[in-house]
Amino acid sequence: MTDFQAYSVVGFDLDNTLFNQEEYEFSIFREIAKKVEMLYSLEDEVYFNALKKLYYSGEKDQTFDKAFLLCQPKLPVNWEETMADTVLKLYRNYLPETLTPFSNTITLLQSLKKRNKKLVLITNGRLKTQNAKIDILGIREYFDLVLISDSYIPVRRKPDTKMFEDSLKYFNIPASSMLYIGDDFVRDKASENVGVDFVHIDELIDEA
């Protein structure tokens, strides 16, 4: 059981901590698959399933190329142009109409606010995309501070500790007064490098 009483500030990661990132990725994959079907007559469901297969395998390098090659023997002659002008632009700019917080997310955030905890959201990702996710999820109101890696110049993505350090400065607290909750034992657990305790989100499922 997490002793929230020991902390005045509680930090959260966003993706796969407050909502299922798979929902976001798959909604984009759906739209990209429709575009690919229009351009190349490759059935959208076939391409979509290939993208999902690579996602579940953890493949992140040239995913759209590899998914096409799972369906067809070779890439179209104008594929690189399509990637630059259509697929990557859609991936970087598409936002779903809805996203669903995990079942315990709102309850946990509300519970912490009722206990007068200060909350900070610390997330990796593109500024426009992460801000949009926060607003679509309807959770911005719970946070006293939102820090997004790509708002920094240069970008400061976790496991870089800059955002944790800035949180401590903002709230003017020692590291021992802050807890950070996330899903990644490398990126998120990096909070411990500056003395901020880390708890995996799975440990809080029944603690709301």
Q: What is the pLDDT of residues 158-190, one digit of tens each?
A: 999 999 999 999 999 999 999 999 999 999 999
Alpha helices (H) along 41-123 = 44-57, 63-71, 79-82, 88-93, 105-114
Nearest to 27 by CA among 52, 54, 59: 52
Average of per-residue pLDDT values in the chain: 95
* pLDDT computed for residue 205 by the predictor: 58
As a whole number, mean pLDDT of residues 16-43 equals 96
pLDDT tens by residue, 56-109: 999 989 999 999 999 999 999 999 999 999 999 999 999 899 999 999 999 999
Residues 39 and 27 in one domain: yes
- Domain of 142, CATH number, reads 3.40.50.1000
Residues 122 and 165 in one domain: yes
Query: Using an 8 Å Cβ cutoff, are 161 and 195 in contact?
Result: no
Report the distance separating Cα 63 and Cα 54, nearest Å. Answer: 7
Is the per-residue pLDDT at 208 higher than 60?
Answer: no
Total domains in the fold of the chain: 2
Cis peptide before 101 (omega within 30 of 0): no
Domain that holds residue 155: 4-19+100-204
Q: Would you say the pTM of this structure is higher than 0.85?
A: yes
Residues 123 and 198 in one domain: yes
Is the per-residue pLDDT at 206 higher than 80?
Answer: no
pLDDT tens by residue, 16-29: 999 999 999 999 99
* pLDDT computed for residue 3 by the predictor: 84
Residues 15 and 26 in one domain: no
As a whole number, mean pLDDT of residues 145-156 equals 98
* pLDDT computed for residue 204 by the predictor: 78
* pLDDT computed for residue 2 by the predictor: 81
What lies within 8 Å, CB to CB, of 45 at 6+ separation is 33
Report the distance separating Cα 194 and Cα 164, nearest Å. Answer: 7
